[in-house]
Homo-oligomer: A and B are copies of this chain.
Amino acid sequence: MKTKLIIITALLLGTMSLQAQRQMVNVPELPGYVTLKCDFHIHTVFSDGNVWPTNRVSEAWRDGLDAIAITDHIEYQPHKQYIPTDHSAAWKIASAMAADNNIILVMGTEITRGMPPGHLNALFITDPDLLATDDFMKVVEAAMAQGAFIHWNHPGWKSQQPDGIPRMYDVHREMIAKGWLHGIEYFNGGEYYPLVMDMCRENKLALIGNSDTHGVISEEYTAPRYSHRPMTLVFAKERTAESLKEALFAGRTAVWYGDNLAAFEEIALPLFRSVITAGAPYKDDGTRIWFELCNSSDIPMKLSGGPEGAPAMLTVPARSMVIVRADRKYLSQPLTYNVDNIITGSDSVLKVEISPAKK
């Protein structure tokens, strides 16, 4: 006699589908703003990517992102033999899922040219078809007419800039002069471009960092090698598309890639202060004091260049605390450190002062 339990279909123990899970990412804050976690450079099967547009929303949701832009190439569809060109397809397919999942889906596209001008993303556009035209400046003009935020992608990409040194060409200067360029990728995929810090600083452009993913995010950014995809942190007044756009044009961004943050000092310093807290001395032997440094974020903080009578180097891992044992004089004067993984310029890192809390 066979029991009913045996006869009917059974689920493999433990395979009952988990309710989908969205991780909370603990990133630094800029007081007065909400930090939006964003990836503005993403491809799908509608250009040279390998996944369907809805997957880009699922990935963003799981990764705890607030906003993404799918930016398939306007001029390049290697799958055209099988998938007819449709510049709005990814947007149309992904937008309902984004709405259901509270993800801000920014309409975007990648203008794809040789260098100069190279590749540029136009974000917050409303009709990508109007950008499918030969004359580059006409394309940019059409994007601007739609209110686009335009950023230059991977300016030091060796396929287009063999010496790896990003440099402004006349066309970029012309765009800047006209107010038609608003940001540059400091980080793309696996590369960073140190000089972009200076370019953005000098021209008041936003620092941008994106994955430029063509494959599967969870395969490209796998623990223990990676804890997260690269992203742009945008400090917005609210968690809305409008606020996101305002913040981008205002240049309130930072780039998080690997264990590093890139941001200008006026942003980087409050970010650091939002995540590192010094405790009060819990031991004092008359010569030295002991106190804790806590890091409440998902980004380790790597301090070096410590002063005499204090640790020369201190790494405070993510969501962890470390003990500082320092000379008693630091009860009345701050310890000074470089934060080696907070990049503030092409040749500078953030400098900070740390003092133990008062009892």
Contact = CB atoms under 8 A, between A and B. Distances in A.
B258 A14 contact: yes
Nearest to A48: B52
A12 interface: yes
Contact of A51 (B14, B52, B164, B194): B52
A2 B194 CA distance: 10
Contact of A163 (B8, B79, B296): B8
Contact of A165 (B7, B24, B163): B7
A190 interface: yes
Contacts of A8: 156, 163-165, 194
A178 interface: no
Interface string A1-35: 01100111111111111111111100000000000
A118 to B, nearest CB: 13
A333 interface: no
B320 A22 contact: yes
A158 to B, nearest CB: 7
A9 B159 CA distance: 12
Listed residue (A50, A84, A101, A323) with the most chain B CB atoms within 10 angstroms of its CB:
A50
A325 B321 CA distance: 38
Contact of A218 (B2, B216, B296): B216
Interface of A: 2-3, 6-24, 45-46, 49-52, 54-55, 79, 82-84, 86, 89, 93, 99-102, 156-158, 161, 163-166, 187, 190-195, 215-216, 218-219, 224-225, 257-258, 260, 279, 282-283, 290, 292, 294-296, 314-315, 317, 319-323, 346-347
20 contacts: A7-B195, A8-B156, A8-B163, A8-B164, A9-B156, A9-B164, A11-B190, A12-B190, A12-B192, A13-B258, A17-B190, A22-B323, A24-B320, A45-B45, A50-B51, A50-B52, A84-B84, A101-B323, A102-B292, A216-B216
Given A9-B156, A12-B260, A23-B320, 6 more contacts: A2-B346, A9-B165, A21-B317, A45-B52, A46-B82, A49-B52
